[in-house]
């Protein structure tokens, strides 16, 4: 089970609430059935029974329900632990292989190989953000590329593919704040399953929002483009207001391209909507490199 400890660390309030409710429930049964009042040391018996039932609900029933319900992008924020996650930034070569392994697992045949993306990160080390747990193990990442306008327009209409993105088509870290077109190339967690997505997806997406706000100037709107290769990715884009711009039939890569034009007010709105994720992840590495 994925990081079950994260779940356990956030159940104390729920346990107290369930315990009180369970005591009330069993107390009502005792009131209705007088014969039960003959049990020796009844208050202690009810407390122990209620505690055992409550622990069973917390440890077994709740996780089973939460981890097996149909995926909904809105659930991404529910299960994250407070102050357990952090963003490692900017790119360092030691991050390359773990990120490549995650991409290979998550995107399967559609992932871009290690040697190719390394050139991106060397050109602009700010395009990669790493999600790490409390032990600094890499458990997710996202990469967001500021594209030069001429190439971006070709990419959008489908005459260029992701594998055509050479370093010269990416703006440097000193130029990226003025980019008009931003390519959300990938976002993934270490294990491609609902549990991992629910645990780590929310903080990772929140980090992406803060990243965009920190390193891009919104004196003019930005067009964010993305190519989802999984159903989960497609749902996430739609959840964030992305719409289909170029259908796969007209593209060389045979993949749908989604886009959304983002204004400063949109960033503020999204941050407010998911502000409770703020306390779950340490983003101080961004502030070290912001202007």
Does 279 have pLDDT greater than 50? Answer: yes
* Confidence (pLDDT) at 230: 81
Give yes or no for a contact between 176 and 146, defined as CB atoms under 8 angstroms apart. Answer: yes
Task: Compute the mean pLDDT over every residue in the chain, rounded to the nearest whole number.
Answer: 80
Does 37 have pLDDT greater than 90? Answer: no
- pLDDT category of residue 40 using cuts at 50, 70 and 90: low
Give yes or no for a contact between 224 and 134, defined as CB atoms under 8 angstroms apart. Answer: no
- pLDDT category of residue 71 using cuts at 50, 70 and 90: very low
How many residues does the structure list for the chain? Answer: 291
* Confidence (pLDDT) at 33: 67
Q: Output the six-digit token pair for 289.
A: 């490199």
Residue 228: φ, ψ to 5°: -75, 140
DSSP string, 144-206: EEEE-HHHHHHHHHTSS-GGG--GGGB--TTTGGG-SEEEEEEEEESS-SHHHHHHHHHHHHH
Half-sphere exposure of 185 (CA within 13 A, CB side): 25
- pTM recorded for the entire structure: 0.70
Mean local confidence (pLDDT), 253-267? 94
Does 128 have pLDDT greater than 90? Answer: yes
Q: Output the six-digit token pair for 119.
A: 């050139």
Mean local confidence (pLDDT), 140-152? 96
pLDDT in tens, 78-114: 333 444 789 999 999 999 988 888 888 777 666 777 8
CATH match for 75-287 among 3.30.43.10, 3.10.310.40, 3.40.630.30, 1.20.1050.10: 3.40.630.30
Distance between CA atoms of residues 169 and 167, nearest Å: 5
* Confidence (pLDDT) at 197: 59
- Domain boundary assignment for the chain: 4-68, 75-287
- Distances in Å between the Cα of 26 and the Cα atoms of 47, 59, 77, 81, 206 are 9, 20, 34, 32, 42
């Amino acid at each position: 089970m994925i990081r079950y400890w994260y779940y356990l660390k956030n159940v104390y309030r729920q346990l107290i609430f369930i315990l009180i409710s369970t005591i009330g429930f069993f107390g009502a049964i005792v009131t209705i059935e007088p014969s039960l009042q003959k049990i020796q040391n009844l208050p202690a018996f009810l407390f122990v029974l209620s505690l055992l039932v409550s622990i069973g609900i917390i440890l077994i029933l709740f996780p089973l329900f939460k981890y097996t319900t149909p995926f909904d992008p809105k659930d991404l924020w529910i299960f994250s632990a407070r102050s357990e996650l952090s963003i490692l930034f900017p790119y360092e070569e030691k991050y390359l292989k773990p990120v490549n392994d995650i991409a290979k697992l998550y995107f399967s045949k559609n992932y871009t190989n290690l040697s190719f993306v390394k050139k991106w990160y060397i050109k602009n080390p700010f395009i990669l953000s790493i999600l790490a747990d409390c032990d600094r193990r890499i458990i997710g990442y996202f990469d967001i590329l500021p594209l030069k306008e001429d190439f971006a327009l070709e990419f959008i209409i489908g005459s260029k593919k992701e594998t055509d993105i050479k370093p010269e088509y990416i703006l440097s870290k000193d130029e990226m704040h003025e980019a008009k077109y931003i390519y959300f190339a990938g976002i993934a967690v270490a294990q491609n399953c609902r549990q991992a997505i629910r645990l780590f997806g929310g903080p990772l997406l929140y980090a992406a929002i803060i990243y965009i706000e920190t390193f891009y100037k919104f004196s003019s709107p930005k067009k964010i483009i993305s190519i989802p290769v999984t159903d989960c990715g497609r749902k996430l884009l739609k959840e964030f207001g992305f719409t289909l711009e170029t259908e796969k039939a007209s593209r060389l890569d045979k993949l749908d391209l989604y886009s959304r034009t983002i204004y400063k007010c949109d960033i503020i709105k999204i941050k407010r909507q998911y502000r409770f994720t703020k306390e779950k992840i340490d983003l101080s590495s961004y502030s070290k490199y912001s202007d």
